[in-house]
Amino acid sequence: NRDTDEVNKVKAQIAELDLKLKQMEEAEKNWAFMKEKQALLDKLSKKLPNSVDAPGFFQAMVKILAITRIEMTDLTPENPAQRTVYTEIPYKIIGRGRYHDFGQFLNLIEENPERFMRVKTLTVENQDDRPSIHNISVRIGTFMFNPRG
């Protein structure tokens, strides 16, 4: 029954090769998906620096303030909050501006194409001597990837 043993070995090798072929076909199907995910990761990593990058945040904020005409009177960094994969770097901004400009300011923070930021808290107050101008206080969180070690 030496022939039967040889036939069984060949059948086992064929089954193993069929399995490898199936795995390779699955990998080929996922290739386009993986390339798409890599492109998204590259795009996101540009918005999430590997360091605190305060100058990058300030540059983004200067652009937003210029577009919206919000008058910033104070910008204060707050204590970072470290998480497993990222660190949140909060800032508190105090300023004043018109209600419509303030809405645009919030939108430009949340939808910023250069840096990932989110509005954490906001306060809007009336200004009695100028009803069209509102005092604002906004806490903004910006983020960075934590280095792996």
Query: Can you give 72-122 as a three-state secondary structure string?
Result: EEEEEECCCEECCCEEEEEEEEEEEEEHHHHHHHHHHHHCCCCCCEEEEEE
Q: Among 16-30, 38-52, 63-77, whose mean pLDDT is lowest?
A: 38-52
Give the separation between CA 94 and CA 72, rounded to whole angstroms.
Answer: 6
Cβ neighbors of 56 (< 8 A, separation 6 or more) are: 49, 114, 115
- Does pLDDT of 42 surpass 80? no
Residue located via tokens 């030496």: 2
Length of the chain: 149
| 40 or 104, higher pLDDT | 104
pLDDT digits (tens, 9 = 90+) for 56-103: 888 889 999 999 999 999 999 999 998 888 899 999 999 999 989 999
CA nearest 69: which of 41, 96, 31?
Answer: 96
- This prediction has a pTM of 0.66
Give the separation between CA 147 and CA 140, rounded to whole angstroms.
Answer: 22
Residue type, 79: N
Confidence of residue 44 (pLDDT cuts 50, 70, 90): low
∠ Cα 142 145 149 (to 5°): 150
